[in-house]
Amino acid sequence: MKYIHTVFFILFFSSAIFAQQAQIEFKEYSYAEFFELIENEKDTLFVLENAFIKVDPDTDNEHLVKWNYNRADSISYDLSKPKTITKAIELKNVHFIEYYGRDGDIRTRNGLFNIVFEKSVHIENTSELKISQCVFNNEFVLTDIDSNHWPDRAGKVFAEIFITDSKFHASVFISIHSYSDNFNLGVEISDNSFYGNTRRSNFSL
């Protein structure tokens, strides 16, 4: 068993304007709809391209994490009851749009939390992704950050990728590089446990 504690913070600043964004039509799904799509998929492989996953407060309460800002032990989900996904997952240009709620001392945040992935997970070209307290029993691949295919946010394009407190039981391949000039990137990979074959794993940032 190998335990690796790694934190990466990368920032790239630039100013180019791009032309391809308007050509892509993005679908929008709530978290509940996203997981329903996976559950209803007849094949053993679930594929989704060009989509936003956005929080719907009316339907996505079970997919949000809530905690008391003044109590580190007040996290809302039960780690003894993870959600299990038995299909292989392939996501291309899918963005998990950040949601951060604040009500007094209570904070709320979205992401892929407390999920067991039994088969491979391939994520290609995402600008927003938060993974925490997940278990990957097959290979995990995160590649190809191409901001030419992202939505433009007030003239700037940026990515926030966080992978924390998760367990990887097979090979891991993470390659995060920009193919465009107009790019801001923040990455944190920390407090994860890697049990798989490290000879077949690679991190490239």
Lowest average pLDDT, out of 10-14, 112-116, 196-200, goes to: 10-14
For 68-97, write each residue's pLDDT tens digit.
766 656 566 667 788 999 999 999 999 998
Half-sphere exposure for 49 (CA within 13 Å, toward CB)? 3
Q: How many CB atoms lie within 10 A of CB 189?
A: 22
CB-based contacts of 131-134 (< 8 A; 24+ apart in sequence):
131/162, 131/163, 131/164, 131/166, 132/65, 132/162, 132/163, 132/164, 132/165, 132/166, 133/77, 133/79, 133/82, 133/165, 133/166, 134/82, 134/166, 134/167
To which residue do tokens 């995060």 refer? 176
pLDDT at 201 over 90: no
The backbone torsions φ and ψ at residue 36, rounded to the nearest 5 degrees and listed phi first, read -70, -40
DSSP 18: -
Q: Render the burial of 47-67: b for 16+ CB within 10 Å, e for the rest.
A: ebeebbbbbeeeebeebbbeb
Lowest-pLDDT range of 7-11, 144-148, 184-188: 7-11
DSSP string covering 73-129, please? Answer: T---S-TTS-EEE-SEEEEEEEEE---EEEETTEEEEESEESEEE-S-EEEES-SEE
Q: What are the pLDDT digits (tens) for 31-61?
A: 999 999 999 999 999 999 999 999 998 898 8
CA distance 53 to 189: 22
Q: Which amino acid is at 16?
A: A
Q: What is the DSSP letter of 43?
A: S
157 neighbors 128 (Cβ within 8 angstroms): no
Predicted TM-score (pTM) of the model is: 0.79
Who wins on pLDDT, 168 or 70?
168
- Residue that is written with structure tokens 């995990």 in the block: 140
pLDDT at 102: 76
